[in-house]
Structure 1
Amino acid sequence: MKQILIIADGIVAKHFLQRVIETYVSTNEYTVVTLDRSILPEKIPSNFLIYQFDPTSYIKLSRILKRDFHEIFIIMKNRVDAEGTYHNIRRDDPMTRITFYNKWDIEFFNDLFFKDENLINVNANELIASRLYDFLPNVPVIAQNVGLGQGEIMEVSVPFGSAYVYRHIGTIIQNRWRIVALYRANQLLLPKPSLMIKPNDVLLLVGKPSVLESVFRAIKRQSGQFPAPFGEHIYLYIDMMKESALCIRNCLEQVGYLHKRIKGRNLVIRVANPGDPELLEEIKALDSPTVECVVDYRAREAETLIKEDVERFNIGLIACGRDIFDDRKYREIFYAMHKPVLQLSRLSMVQLKKLVLVLSESENMELISSTVFDVASQLDLDVELLDYEPDGDFGKKKEVLSHYENLANIFSKKLDVRHETRNPIRALEPEEPFLQVLPFTEGVLQRRILAYFSTDIEKLYFKLSRNPQLFVPVEIE
């Protein structure tokens, strides 16, 4: 975890904090110091620690600075306060990098009248002038404003310990992305196969945004992000009127194992329609700093209950038993949440050996690919792709297969590809326990009686529901 200190005041700080929360990163811990709580967003994630005091007070700020911060941001509206805060920090900590929001053209020097090398002085006036200049006709556009602005151009600093350090560029397979430039010691180096990547090099990448996100996580060793970007915590929904005690206990055991392996911070257990006092006490006994049991005694509608919980607890993964997911009403509720849903089965997740994905030509296969490899990495599962073609023409999904092979190389993950002419359900039914991953599309909502006449694996998901199944939404709300 990287510890980041943000000293915030004013409208720019308010927008910055909102942006940080919206682009949630589970590997960062944020400490925010502000005098005005009105600039804080309404919903604050659990990786934020808030302090309210005047940061120009050296005595108060020095207590916070006893912690080991990786970076410090000073974003304040008043010049005297901003300068005073900077000098307070440098009294105790001359080395930590400070990013300073500077709209007053201030220059900082140390005792020897040298510029602070660990200061990033963000000159707001220059940034605005540069952005306005880009709108003039017949002038070159600077790199930060080139492209679609959708993440297809990315700059990545290579840290010590990265799997990409001391590798020649020619040894890195680059499908659907390219290293187009390398910056070292403030010099531009054009990439060639023999060029070796070194720590602190900055790579300029161009490619498909979804692929670049995966490359970024691989370079930064951030494969364990799931359930982000869908949310932060894991949620188990239990209905005591609909599920047997045996099923509920099995779900509790399975989700407990999942909670230990998946990096969701907390587990929220929602109990609807409580009826069995003994079982209810067992569930309540699971309460801990990372497990919260909430019971609904008012018999509210499932849709209202789940929607409130998902928003209140910032849920990133919903888990439920097979009896719940079999009910089309619940599938529709979950689908509307735009969250991944794990249907738990009677098979223990401890026994899982592999993650299975039945391929289709749909673009949905690429949209869920990062989640596939992230989950496989956290659960330590091999990834198996089943390419089903009844006519034996296995070249139809060449692009999808190339995409997955590329990500497997990026994440250094074993990938098995099976070509089958048999019905994939018959091919998979007799196999050892596996986790099946499917795109959560409207096909999953179809009634079973109609699904029997389909060849769509998403509509026939229930044929393999003796195994746990993870349904991944193809869009985030």
Structure 2
Amino acid sequence: MIIADGIVAKHFLHRISETFISTNEYTIITLDRSILPEKQPSNFVTYQFDPTSYIKLSKILKRDFDDVFIVMKNRVDAEGTYHNIRRSNRVIRITFFNRWDIEFSGGNLFGDEYLIDINANELIASRLYDFLPNVPVVAQNVGLGQGEIMEVLVPFGSAYVYRHIGTIIQNQWRIVALYRGSQLLLPKPSLMIKPNDVLLLVGKPTVLESVFRAIKQELGQFPAPFGENIYFYIDMLHEEEGCILNCIAQVQYLQKRIKGRKLVIRVSNPTDAELLGKIKALDSEKVECIVDYRNRKVRHVITEDVERYNIGLVVCGRDIFAEKRYKEIFFSLRKPVLQFSETSLIHLKKLVLILSDEKSMEAISATVFDVASQLGLDIELFNYEPDGEFEKRRFLLNHYENLSNIFSKSLHVHQENRNPIRELSHKGPFLQVVPFTGKILQNRFFSYFSTDVEKLYFKLSDNPQLFVPVDME
């Protein structure tokens, strides 16, 4: 049943008549027949009387209705009609068009749990807000309506432009559709994003907010979209006190540079009470220290912590990352891992990247520039081609040069036909960024005989190394 009066009701009824749904039957009550569509569908039954009359309305309500819509222009008439309906039926669902900002009572309008309040002013304000520049458009009437469905226009200078969807890490969010002009394109790994494309995203609202800012070129989002907080893992059985203290100083510096992030410190095998006291003294509003006294399985501890605290970056010392079991655990998390070394992160001036697989390099490109920007590092790119055919990676180099212009970051490209790892081992200090692929897990002994720069990452482990995941499925 639809109780209709006024211009909004007129548009509502015309919209219903234009989108005929054969399974619905409509009973329409109005005093003004001029608001009815000229051509009424066969499933329309109309009555003309004053719905504020309880006697007349109660007779119609004897029929079996699933829903009642009250769409009226006068507040007194709308409220009177509502109370008439409730006198006859206490549990029928009523959708109430509220254009007067009637305040809620008892958690709902009139304290009625079977009432759906449609606040016209909020809807209009929300729709106007969607047209502001640089504002994410979220679905209001689809799903939960909490921002888990978002539409984003990709600007020309975005870090996402000319990237393949398959190279974009989608953790707790997904690109579910792409609109190019008037054409709908379903996403597949080989589909390339172009300027002015519109992406339809689905995921956690907080994650989508970070993704939106990343697409709109806002730096300072890392470790988003992997997560929000920093996780520092310490194992006192496998690390010396000096190494732990050095890592603590570096992670404190890192937290200051990556502003607004919470630092979670997990201590396993607490064997040194004095050192543990120093670590626990760091507890504050933005630092939480948790100790495992029960000697639980390492994989369970780390996995639970990462999920519970919405971790976006895992940090550890070099001795921890050197162990195969830890590498396997970290790889399974699909989170970036920063390995500290004796060379302190605090004094670095440059970030080094050795180009390898194009898909991996494209996938980590936005992270490279975001990290370099937050830590104030220049970027040096090594294009290693043993046969000297450097143009093989021209598309990838263009992608990085485009990002350097977008983010206004210095980018120096080295063309190398000799493996640059030996040369770089004497050119520290620097932060090396490495794609976190299955190659990192391979046995070091066999890697010594390889020319693959990813497998030989450990030869540069005297410097801090950031391993960025690329395989998200």
Give the TM-score range, shorter chain. Answer: 0.5 to 0.7
- 2:28 maps to none
CA positional deviation for 1:104: 8.2
Identify if the C-alpha distance between structure 1 residues 81 and 267 changes in structure 2 by more than 3 Å, giving closer, same or farther: farther
Of 391, 394, 401, the residue aligned with 2:397 is 401
Q: Is the 8 A contact 1:227 1:263 kept in 2?
A: no
How many residues are treated as equivalent by the alignment?
322
Q: CA deviation at 1:407?
A: 1.2
Change (3 A) 1:209 1:386: farther
Structure 2 stretches lacking a partner, 5+ long: 1-92, 105-115, 131-137, 143-148, 164-180, 182-193, 202-208
Gaps of 5+ in 1: 1-76, 90-102, 110-114, 129-149, 159-163, 165-171, 178-189, 191-202
Q: Distance in 1 between matches of 2:160 and 2:289?
A: 46
TM-score normalised to structure 2 length: 0.60
Deviation of 1:262 after TM superposition, in Å, equals: 1.4
Shift of 1:325: 0.4
1:363 counterpart residue number: 359
Contact 2:98 2:120 in 1 (8 A): no
**Offset of residue 397 of structure 1:** 0.8
Give the match for residue 388 of structure 2: 392
Structure 1 Cα separation of the partners of residues 117 and 139 of structure 2: 8
* Structure-2 residue corresponding to 1:321: 317
Do the aligned partners of residues 106 and 288 (structure 1) sit closer, same or farther apart at CA in structure 2, a change above 3 Å counting? closer
Task: Specify whether residues 334 and 126 from structure 1 end up closer, same or farther in structure 2 by C-alpha distance, changes over 3 A only.
Answer: closer
User: In structure 2, how many angstroms separate the alpha carbons of the residues matched to 1:119 and 1:416?
Assistant: 45
CA distance in 2, matches of 1:300, 1:371: 33
Conserved 8 A contact 2:348-2:431: yes
2:153 corresponds to which of 152, 155, 166: 155
| Distance change (3 Å), C-alpha of 1:264 and 1:391 | farther
Q: Residue 116 and residue 247 in structure 1: after superposition, are their counterparts in 2 closer, same or farther (change >3 A)?
A: closer
Aligned partner of 1:27 in structure 2 is none
Shift of 1:205: 0.8
The amino acid across from 1:445 in the alignment is L
Contact (CA 8 Å) 1:357, 1:386: kept in 2 or not? yes
| Alignment check: 8 A CA contact 1:347 1:467 kept | yes
Q: Is the 8 A contact 2:154 2:199 kept in 1?
A: no
1:53-452 equivalent positions in 2, closer than 5 A: 79=95, 86=101, 107-108=120-121, 120=128, 154-155=152-153, 176=162, 205-206=196-197, 217=213, 220=216, 222-263=218-259, 265-452=261-448
Deviation of 1:422 after TM superposition, in Å, equals: 2.3
Residue in 2 that maps onto 1:453: 449
SS at match of 1:403: helix
Superposed displacement of residue 390, structure 1 = 2.2
1:475 Cα shift?
Answer: 3.5
Give the TM-score normalised by the residue count of structure 1.
0.60
Q: How much has 1:108 moved relative to structure 2?
A: 4.6
User: What is the identity, as a one-letter code, of the residue corresponding to 1:155?
Assistant: L
State the SS of the aligned residue for 1:270: strand
Contact 2:159 2:366 in 1 (8 A): no
Indicate the SS of the match to 1:318. strand
Partner of 1:92: none
1:379-413 C-alpha deviation (Å, 9 max, x unpaired) = 11111110112222211111110111111111121
Distance in 2 between the 1:442 and 1:321 partners? 20
Distance 2:139 2:275 in 1: 63
Paired residue type of 1:389: E
For the Cα contact (< 8 Å) 1:175–1:406, is it kept in 2?
no
Q: Which amino acid aligns with 2:196?
A: L
Q: Aligned AA for 1:287?
A: D
Q: Distance in 2 between matches of 1:155 and 1:464?
A: 40
CA contact (8 A) 2:155 2:196 kept: no
| Per-residue deviation, 1:243 | 0.4
- In 2 relative to 1, CA 281–372 (structure 1 residues): closer, same or farther, beyond 3 Å? same
SS of residue paired to 2:246: helix
In 2, Cα distance between equivalents of 1:366 and 1:253: 32
- SS of 2:196's partner is strand
1:470 has 2:456 as partner = no
Q: Secondary structure at the match of 1:368?
A: helix
SS of equivalent residue, structure 1 residue 436 = strand
Give the Cα–Cα distance (whole angstroms) in 2 for the partners of residues 338 and 366 of structure 1.
17
Amino acid at match of 2:153: E
Secondary structure of 1:396's aligned partner: helix
- State how far apart, in whole Å, the 1-side matches of 2:240 and 2:430 are: 24
Match of residue 186 from structure 1 = none
Aligned partner of residue 439 in structure 1, secondary structure: strand
- CA 82–449 in structure 1, closer or farther in 2 if over 3 Å, else same: farther
Contact 2:232–2:264 (8 Å) recurs in 1:
yes
Query: How big is the shift at 1:426?
Result: 1.2
Given the superposition, is the C-alpha separation of residues 118 and 422 from structure 1 closer, same or farther in structure 2, using an over 3 Å criterion?
Answer: closer
- On the 8 A contact 1:269/1:292 being kept in 2, the answer is yes
Note if contact 2:210-2:225 (Cα within 8 Å) is conserved in structure 1.
Answer: no
CA pair 475-106 structure 1, distance change in 2 beyond 3 A: same
Shift of 1:362: 2.8
Structure 1 residue 215 displacement after superposition: 11
Given that residues 338 and 473 in structure 1 are in contact (C-alpha distance below 8 angstroms), is that contact kept between their aligned partners in structure 2? yes
Q: Deviation at 1:421? A: 2.1
CA distance, structure 2, for counterparts of residue 108 and residue 471 of structure 1: 49
CA RMSD of the aligned region, Å? 4.0
Rounded Cα–Cα distance in structure 1 between residues aligned with 2:129 and 2:219: 32
In structure 1, the residue corresponding to 2:392 is in which secondary structure? coil
